[in-house]
Amino acid sequence: MSELRLGSGEDFISSAEIAERTSALADYYTDLYRGEDLVILTVLKGAARFGLNLGTMIRNPKTVEDFVRMKSMEGTTQHEPVYLIEPEENIKGRNVLVVEDIDDSRTTLSKLMPRLRDQGPARLDLVSLLDKPTVEKVVEDLPCDDIEYGFKIADRFVVGHGLDWNGLHRGLAHISVAHNVSIEDGEEYWVPLVPEEPSRITSNSDSGFMASV
């Protein structure tokens, strides 16, 4: 018998840590776009919470919020990303901050960012709540001026604060690691999803905070 369960409570990235990091990133973007216009382009659905919170905290009176939606995952399996909702704003000549939930294999971003770059924004910046730096990326570089991450995490399947597993658990305020739990002879065995090495990341902390499990 085997089932999917979450890691316990606030053990991975707590809601307080997320709020603190979001506020620090908002300060950074307040400075970066001071006196200029800004289009915050949030990638639905996963980045919705993070993007709206950032939009609330970035102090810039010339901010417009827009959304884009790609579809790329079923369960824990990747598929070729498809544009489901296109941005409404004309971004030509404007400063654009793309807000993503996670930079995993980078499949989604490798399709989205060049499309946006082709539309001629003045600046194209990217902020992703999470990065999995040990995952092999489909492209090494993304066409943008600046990339920031909230947290760099080990290669684990995580849920919460917008991230889902088959549509579930987006509403968690914190981020949890999804575990597969099997029961043998009444004993529970908890194995984190995506069990590859390493379980703990200790380097690569140049941008964003580190979280380990």
From 57-65, 78-86, 100-108, 111-119, span contacting Mg ion (CB under 5 A): 100-108
From 27-35, 96-104, 115-123, 200-208, span contacting ligand IMP (CB under 6 A): 96-104
> Please, which residue, 60 or 130, has the CB nearer to Mg ion?
130
Is there binding between residue 64 and ligand IMP (CB under 6 A)? no
**E strands present in the chain:** 2-6, 38-44, 63-74, 77-85, 95-103, 123-131, 146-153, 158-159, 176-184, 187-192, 209-211
Catalytic residue list contains 104: yes
Which residue matches tokens 């684990």? 156
Binding residue for ligand IMP (CB under 6 A) from 42, 72, 95, 176? 72
Closest approach of Cβ 168 to ligand IMP, in Å?
Answer: 10
Is there binding between residue 158 and ligand IMP (CB under 6 A)? yes
Is there binding between residue 46 and Mg ion (CB under 5 A)? yes
From 101, 103, 104, 155, active-site residue: 104
SS3 114: helix
Chain centre distance of CA 153: 11
The option from ligand IMP, Mg ion, none interacting with 87 (CB < 5 to 8 A, set by class) reads: none
**Cα–Cα distances in angstroms (integers) from residue 175 to residues 9, 109, 136, 155, 156, in the given order:** 9, 21, 22, 14, 11
Binding residue for ligand IMP (CB under 6 A) from 6, 98, 102, 112? 102
From 75-83, 97-105, 154-162, 168-176, span contacting Mg ion (CB under 5 A): 97-105
Closest approach of Cβ 9 to ligand IMP, in Å?
Answer: 18
> Please, which residue, 104 or 125, has the CB nearer to ligand IMP?
104
> How far apart are alpha carbons 187 and 143 in whole angstroms?
49
Burial class for 171, CB neighbours closer than 10 Å (0-12, 13-18, 19+): exposed
Task: Report DSSP state, residue 86.
Answer: -
Q: Where are the alpha helices (DSSP H) in the chain?
A: 15-32, 48-57, 107-117
| Residues carrying an active site annotation | 104
- Site residues (vs Mg ion, CB under 5 A): 46, 101
